[in-house]
């Protein structure tokens, strides 16, 4: 263990008594100085910081994280800075990488890898510029989601190297999230920044992704602003902004959640053409192809996302999440009779989304015992998740226990993909019971679109279905829904729906 006397650690804190000690304990043996800037704590935060020998100063909070970060950097003359938050821990096995990194004479900054710990499965990873020379011309910009990349670009720093240093991030664990209320604060700061600096592309992007899904029109407009700013960039400018693939990915996902699949496909294709595609963007393109029924294209894109996420051509900020999403989509295609069937890795199969996809596949293959054996542990441990509740409803439906099916589907969250699918099942259930189905908002995939068309035929109305939907896939999905009606004892309705144009 070697203390790096040319390196200081910098934190900005407020009321972090439950987390700060663990953070400081992880960095104390490896840095020459710890600088803590307190923005108004009312608990034991300051006392804990001083107990670790940290230099502590106060800062009047002004709704500007960059200002606070930069004030903390001024607390030390150490030539190198490691920026860390109270809910992060320096991973001890990677700490020795600090010394050779800061010894390089020609480097201005490095990426460190933040491991976002989750309640289940391995962490997701994000590369962030947190190890850099503590110079006046390398400072944080933007009042929230602050970073130093603007200054590094101005200094022609080029592509940053990975330092090998990793930070374990506890901030996304449920017990930590419950104690924080960052969302409303961040949204307020982002909105003000958008008014003050409407051409700030990164801020526009973060504002769009921070808006709640329920603010549909505002979210669509915000993504439109960010998208337009991105398209106005030159190719060299685009190459300097590593977040651009995430903008196109998030924009496409937001449109897909509205059922605007044609627009979502256009955005995803534009992103792939404009920037070096990440695995997340490739996954999104594949998932969109699956949703419109273009199964061959879906398999191509999803396999690229799954297999190439660590290649030199495809970067993955969140490799585990991309693997989970890709496998869930690939298994969904297999359940529809498309693609070859592989076995997902154990760490991926442990995720509830992949687990539910494996259960559905077993059901489609007629392997009821295997499906139940896989589903029982999920039902016992993951009942609170939408994926499990949706699937529990499908199990009850197959047993013609419609009351239980209804209760399960009504428990799913309205804004999620599972909730959208559950509403489709509830609409079918209403028909089975002889009532009028509640309308299903713009379908997000071929399966729900086919049901919307079926219900419209029964009602004699004209449905709204995105033109990107493949007619052959719609026909297959229509046959499956009519089979479900027959299973539920309404063969008469199934026959009527098939006979109407």
Q: Is 4 strand, coil or helix? A: strand
∠230-64-184 over CA atoms, to 5°?
80
pLDDT computed for residue 79 by the predictor: 97
Tracing tokens 């107990």 back to the chain, one arrives at 51
- pLDDT tens digits along 344-386: 888 889 899 999 999 999 988 889 899 999 999 999 988 889 9
**Please, are residues 27 and 9 in contact by the beta-carbon 8 Å criterion?**
yes
The strand pair at 31-38 and 124-133 is best described as unpaired
Q: Which candidate, 270, 216, 263, places its Cα nearest to that of 247?
A: 270
In terms of C-beta density within 10 A (0-12 exposed, 13-18 middle, 19 or more buried), how is residue 22 classed? Answer: middle
CA 132 to chain centre: 27
Structure tokens at 144: 């929230």
One DSSP character per residue, 431-481 reads HHTTSPPPPPPS-SSHHHHHHHHHHHHHHT------TTS-HHHHHHHHHHH
Query: Domains in the chain and their CATH numbers?
Result: 4-171 (3.90.550.10), 182-276 (1.25.40.10), 415-501 (no CATH)
CB 374 within 8 A of CB 357: no
464: exposed, middle or buried (Cβ count in 10 Å: 0-12, 13-18, 19+) = middle
Exposure string of 226-255, with b = 16+ CB inside 10 Å and e = fewer, is bbebbeebeeeeeebbbbbbbbbbbbbbbb
- Per-residue pLDDT tens over the stretch 123-159: 778 889 999 999 999 999 999 999 999 999 899 988 8
According to the model, what pLDDT value does residue 180 have? 60
Instruction: Report the distance separating Cα 227 and Cα 243, nearest Å.
Output: 12
C-alpha separations of 120 from 286, 320, 322, 347, 382 in Å: 25, 11, 15, 9, 11
Taking the CA atoms of 263, 266, 272 and 275 in sequence, report the sign of the dihedral they define.
Answer: negative
From the number of C-beta atoms within 10 Å of its C-beta (0-12, 13-18, 19+), residue 270 rates as middle
Is the four-CA dihedral 276, 325, 177, 251 of positive or negative sign?
positive
DSSP 3-state of 233: coil
Specify the DSSP class assigned to residue 28: G
Query: Which residues make beta-bridge pairs with 115?
Result: 125, 168
pTM of the model: 0.85
* pLDDT score, position 337: 86
| pLDDT digits 0-9 by tens, 211-256 | 988 889 999 999 999 999 999 999 888 887 888 999 999 999 999 9
Residue 477 has a pLDDT of: 95
* Residue 260 φ then ψ, to 5°: -85, 70
CA distance 252 to 420: 17
- Residues lower than pLDDT 50 in the chain: 310-315
DSSP label of 345:
P
Report the pLDDT value the prediction gives residue 311, as an integer from 0 to 100: 46
């Amino acid at each position: 263990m070697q203390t790096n006397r040319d390196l200081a650690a910098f934190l900005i804190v407020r009321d972090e008594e439950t987390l700060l000690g663990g953070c400081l304990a992880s960095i104390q043996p490896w840095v020459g100085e710890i600088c803590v800037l307190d923005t108004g704590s009312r608990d034991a935060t300051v006392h804990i910081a001083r107990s670790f020998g940290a230099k502590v100063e106060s800062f009047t909070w002004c709704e500007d994280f960059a200002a606070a970060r930069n004030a903390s950097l001024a607390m030390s003359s150490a030539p190198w800075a490691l920026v860390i938050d109270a809910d992060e821990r320096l991973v001890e096995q990677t700490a020795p990488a600090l010394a050779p990194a800061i010894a390089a004479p020609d480097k201005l900054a490095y990426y460190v890898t933040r491991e976002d710990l989750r309640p289940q499965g391995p962490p997701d990873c994000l590369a962030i510029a947190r190890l850099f020379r503590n110079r006046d011309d390398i400072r944080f910009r933007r009042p929230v989601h602050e970073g130093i990349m603007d200054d590094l670009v101005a200094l022609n720093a080029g592509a940053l190297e990975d330092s090998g240093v990793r930070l374990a991030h506890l901030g996304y664990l449920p017990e930590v999230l419950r104690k924080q209320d960052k969302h409303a604060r961040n949204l307020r700061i982002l909105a003000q920044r958008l008014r003050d600096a409407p051409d700030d592309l990164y801020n526009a992007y973060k504002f769009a992704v921070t808006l709640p899904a329920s603010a549909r029109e505002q979210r669509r407009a915000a993504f439109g602003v960010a998208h337009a700013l991105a398209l106005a960039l030159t190719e060299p400018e685009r190459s300097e902004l590593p977040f651009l693939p995430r903008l196109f990915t998030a924009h496409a996902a937001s449109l897909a959640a509205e059922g605007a699949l044609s627009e979502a496909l256009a955005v995803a294709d534009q992103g792939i053409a404009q920037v070096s595609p990440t695995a997340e963007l490739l996954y999104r393109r594949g998932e969109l192809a699956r949703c419109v029924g273009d199964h061959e294209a879906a398999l191509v894109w999803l396999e690229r996302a799954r297999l190439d996420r660590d290649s030199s051509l495809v970067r993955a900020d969140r490799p585990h999440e991309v693997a989970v999403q890709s496998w869930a989509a690939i298994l969904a295609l297999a359940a529809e009779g498309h693609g070859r069937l592989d076995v997902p890795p154990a760490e991926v199969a442990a995720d509830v989304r992949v687990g539910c996809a494996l259960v559905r596949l077993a059901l489609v293959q007629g392997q009821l015992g295997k499906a139940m054996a896989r589903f029982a542990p999920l039902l016992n441990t993951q009942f609170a998740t939408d994926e499990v509740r949706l699937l529990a409803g499908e199990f009850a439906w197959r047993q013609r226990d419609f009351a239980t099916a209804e209760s399960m589907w009504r428990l799913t969250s309205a804004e999620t993909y599972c909730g959208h699918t559950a509403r489709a099942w509830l609409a079918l259930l209403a028909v089975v019971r002889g009532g009028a189905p509640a309308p299903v908002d713009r379908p997000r995939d071929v399966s729900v679109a086919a049901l919307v068309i079926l219900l419209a035929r029964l009602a004699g109305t004209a449905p709204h279905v995105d033109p990107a939907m493949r007619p052959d896939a719609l026909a297959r999905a229509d046959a499956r829904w009519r089979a479900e009606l027959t299973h539920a004892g309404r063969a008469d309705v199934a026959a009527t729906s098939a006979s109407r144009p």
